[in-house]
Structures are given as C-alpha cells and as structure tokens.
Amino acid sequence: MMRREQPKSFNTIPVKERLTITRQSMPEQDAGERSANFLEVNLGLTPKQAVIEAQRCIECKNPTCMEGCPVSIKIPDFIQLICNEDFLGAANKIKEDNSLAAVCGRVCPQETQCEEVCVVGKRFEPVAIGRLERFVADYALKHGNGSINGVEKPKPSGQKVAIVGSGPAGLAAASDLIKEGHEVTVFEALHEFGGVLVYGIPEFRLPKAILRKEVANLETMGVKFVKNFIVGRTMSIQELMEDEGYDSVFLGLGAGLPRFMNIPGENLNGVYSANEFLTRSNLMRGYEFPEWDTPLYRAKHAIIVGGGNTAMDAVRTAKRLGADEASIVYRRSEEEMPARNEEIHHAKEEGVEFMNLVNPIEFIGDDEGNVVTARCLRMELGEPDDSGRRRPVPMEGSEFTMDVDMVVIAVGNGSNPLIAQTTPEITTNKWGNIVADEDGRTSMEGVFAGGDIVSGGATVILAMGAGRNSAAAINEYLKTKVWSVA
C-alpha cells in the first residue's frame, strides 16, 4: 500500500503535553429537561473545545484511524486543519470522502471504528474524531457551503444513473456519481428524502433540518430527487433502463420489513413494530399530534423489546411522549447489547429502565383488543450461539406478568420483498437479501445494490461505504460497459 503523505502540521503543542489534555466532553441538554422534548440531546463542541480536542492528535507516522473508517475519511488531515482553525477547510477535506458528514458525525459508532483504532486510545482516551467531524460539518452548514467550495462542475458524461432509495447508501452513491458528470436521479418511495435517516432516527439524535441541508447540498451539486416513486410499482427497473434511458441502476432499498416475534397477541392494538412506531413519530411527526394529523400512542407503561440502537430510539421516544415507565426488555444481558454505549447511557440518564435477561412470551388484551399485559420469562445465558454471543435460555418457573399499555417490537428487519416480487431477474438469497458481489453487481446487467438490502440490517456508515463502492464500480461500468460478475 502506498504510504500517505503526512498532512501539514499546525499543532504547536509538544507531543508529550498533548497526551495530558483531557478528551473534550460533549455539551448536552440536561437529562431531566430533554426527556420531555424532542430537541437534539448533544449540543456540539464549541470552537475552542474543537481546537483543544484536535490538539490531542499526536500525528502518528502510521495513522490507523483512517483504516477504521468505512469510507476512509482523511482524518489526520482534517484534524490538522482544525488545529489551524480552518474549519471550512476541514469540512471540505471530509467532504472529499463523505457527503453526509453532519449525519455521520452524529450517528456513526465511532467507538468501534476510527476511535477504536486511534493510537492515542491505546493508553489514553482516543481523540474524539466523531465529535470533531460533527463540529466542522455543522460549522460548514452554518457558515457557507461545505459541499461545492472549490469543486468545479464536472464535464457531462452523457450517462444516466438511477438511484433507488434516498437513504445513506443511495445518497453516498449519488454524491460520488454526480462528481463524475453523470446525470443522477434519486427515486424515493416516501414523501421525504433520507430513508432511515428520516423515518428511523429521531429528531433528538439527528435533527431533520440537518438532513434537509445535506440533501439540498446534493441538489445544488446537480442530483435530481424524485419523491413518491416506488421502483417496482410506479415503474419497473426494466422500464427505467429501456424506456427512460438509465444506463445503470443502484438499489439502496434498505432492509424495510419488520420482524415480529411470532408470539400470541402481537396483533393487539398498542403493539407496534419499531419501524411503525418510529415512522409515526419521526417521518409523520406523530409527537406533534393533533397539530400534525398522524396519531401515535402516548403510553403510560411502555415496553420495548430488543437491545439495539433502534430499541434505544424507540424507548427514548416513548419516554418523551410522556410514559411514566419506559423499559427495555432484552433477552440477553447489557454486555451483549448491540446498541451503542452512548445510546444506552443517554437512555439511562433519561430514566429508561432496563429489564435485561427477560423475554416476552405472550401479550394479552382487553375486550376492545388493546394490549394490557405482557407475560414474560426470565432468562439466563448458556453456551455461545452462532453469533458468538451467549445464548439466552429460559429459567424454569420464572414466568411473571407486567401491566403494559404499549409494546414496541425492535428485534430487527427482514428484507423488503418488492423488488424480488417485481424483478425476477435479480437473484435474492433465502433471507430475501439481494445477492451482489463486493462491488454491488447483481445478477442483472447494469444493476448494482448495496446497504441493508444486501447485507441485512447494519449501520448508516456501512451502507454509505457500500454506496461508495458501488459508485466506483458503476463509473467503471459506464466507461467500459463490460459486465463481469465475479
């Protein structure tokens, strides 16, 4: 691998002293206050804090942080620009590799990516790369445009690419493809752009205004956005290519088929999939009912089944909607929880209860079909299963019941069957995921796929990485028109 050139240093503090600077903490909205509103929890570093945090970087000769980033942001470079207080320059440096920096600075699990492999982090707390990313991205959104500065409009290639789905995979692919001069159109089934970023992630973690600005930036760069358009129903992939003249199609559909537990009582009123509960709250602004039309339960005793980030988003939403008790019910222990530590920590601060090693086995309703009781078992951990985590086993005689008036099932997503139903040319596996090679090539010539529809439920940044990979492969395909599936 080619050695990268070391970025110009602007850090005047001797290396030894840098290690004595403490990691700058994220200013937050007070827990008591924020558990009753939907405003953003994290407030962002101050410019002064950002410079101090950037000065903690020891400018390793062989930095590993970049390897931890699925889209290979030039982390050492942008950190030096922050040391020089060139925040716009730093934002533009990130934009070279990531068109959604303000989003990723908020929702990426940096602790298991760039920050996990940060050399400072081996003995001290790692440099807060995510907080710095967020700081410069927000700065750029506020002060001038972080996306098109200094980027000349590329020469039109005369080629058309359709992106299906405006979630993280699609937006990342669109951003890379528009820079190559292709005509890029993003088709979205819903009435707002952003996919899971708009329907799944709550306002208090990712304000819609931030997302809208990122989408507007892509529009300024020339990407066309079409909403209320379901590829497979409104128009087929074949029609897009044959009648509408698209030379290539990228499918970034997302997972998008909620899993249930298949236990009795799951269809009672008040039992939601996490997707529905969060979509009603986030996309449809159900928390502003009746000012907004979409109704949403304001439960007193809510349980959320699951231990991922989606479960944390749902339980914190339930709390904000006024629940006296909002509890996580998770069949393993906190150690196995897939949610980010920050989310678990925030949830606890906001008064969320954690009932770990508990699994519901039935929901019971009243005469009108409203859920009123959850029957549960206590679990203990046995031998590790296929996932490497210790398998939860029911404890004999441990059954108990709980009064509930809302249940949210957050146990993951299957894949949406729409494309498989309408496009038999595209091969799917037994889980319904689209089969694609590492560059996203599907079994249909010119059609690529990436993100959750290929990998199954994963993270925003992994979907963006897949979108970028496919964008590179699409570029290559449009140049050569050679279709080679490995």
Partner 1 sequence: MYRIIKAEFIAPNVKSFLIEAPHIAKKRQAGQFVILRVHDKGERIPITIADSNPDEGWINIIVQGLGKTSAHLNTLETGDHLQDLVGPLGLPTHIENWGTLVCISGGVGTAEALPIAAAGKAAGNRVISIIGARNKDLLIAEGQMEEVVDEVRISTDDGSAGRHGLVTDVLKDLMDEGVTPDMIVAIGPLPMMAAVSNQTEAMEIPTMVSLNAIMVDGTGMCGACRATVGGKTVFVCVDGPEFDGHQVDFKELGMRQKMYKKQEAESHKCFLERQMKKVKAEQLAEGVG
CA distance linking residue 69 with residue 65, whole number of Å: 7
Site for partner 1 in 358-387 (CB under 8 A): 368-369
Q: From 12-20, 350-358, 412-420, 470-478, give the range in contact with partner 1 by CB under 8 A.
A: 412-420
Closest by CA position to 47, among listed 86, 94, 96: 86
Closest by CA position to 165, among listed 448, 472, 443: 448
Instruction: Please say whether the beta carbons of 471 and 177 come within 8 A.
Output: yes
Site for partner 1 in 37-66 (CB under 8 A): none
For β-strands 224-226 and 183-187, DSSP reports them as parallel
Site for partner 1 in 196-235 (CB under 8 A): 199, 227-230, 233-235
CA distance linking residue 354 with residue 424, whole number of Å: 44
Residue of 276, 334, 336, 437 interacting with partner 1 (CB under 8 A):
276
Instruction: Please say whether the beta carbons of 319 and 351 come within 8 A.
Output: yes
104 residue type, one letter: C
Instruction: Tell me how far, at minimum, the Cβ of 373 lies from partner 1, in Å.
Output: 16
Instruction: Please say whether the beta carbons of 91 and 132 come within 8 A.
Output: no
Question: Where does residue 440 rank: exposed (0-12), middle (13-18), buried (19+ CB within 10 A)?
Answer: buried
CB-wise, 124 or 229, nearer to partner 1?
A: 229
Interaction of residue 237 with partner 1, rule CB under 8 A: no
Interaction of residue 270 with partner 1, rule CB under 8 A: yes
Q: From 121-129, 186-194, 329-337, 353-361, give the range in contact with partner 1 by CB under 8 A.
A: 186-194
Instruction: Tell me how far, at minimum, the Cβ of 40 lies from partner 1, in Å.
Output: 21
Residue of 12, 122, 155, 290 interacting with partner 1 (CB under 8 A):
290
CB-wise, 273 or 459, nearer to partner 1?
A: 273
Instruction: Tell me how far, at minimum, the Cβ of 314 lies from partner 1, in Å.
Output: 13
Sign of the four-CA dihedral 97, 102, 107, 111 = positive
The helix/strand/coil state of 133 is helix
DSSP string, 32-46: HHHTT--S-SB----
Q: Name the phi and psi angles at 410, rounded to 5.
A: -125, 65
Interaction of residue 424 with partner 1, rule CB under 8 A: no
Q: From 49-57, 97-105, 259-267, 470-478, give the range in contact with partner 1 by CB under 8 A.
A: 259-267
87 residue type, one letter: F
Residue of 49, 279, 282, 356 interacting with partner 1 (CB under 8 A):
279
CB-wise, 32 or 295, nearer to partner 1?
A: 295
The size of the interface with partner 1 (CB under 8 A), counted in residues, is 43
Cα–Cα separations (whole angstroms), residue 79 to 9, 44, 86, 428? 9, 16, 10, 42
The helix/strand/coil state of 479 is helix
Instruction: Tell me how far, at minimum, the Cβ of 185 lies from partner 1, in Å.
Output: 14
Total count of residues recorded for the chain: 486
Interaction of residue 291 with partner 1, rule CB under 8 A: yes
CB-wise, 394 or 412, nearer to partner 1?
A: 412
Residue of 221, 251, 284, 318 interacting with partner 1 (CB under 8 A):
284
Q: What residues line the site for partner 1 (CB under 8 A)?
A: 189-191, 199, 227-230, 233-235, 254, 256-258, 260, 262, 266-267, 269-270, 272-273, 275-276, 279-280, 284-285, 288-295, 368-369, 416-418, 421
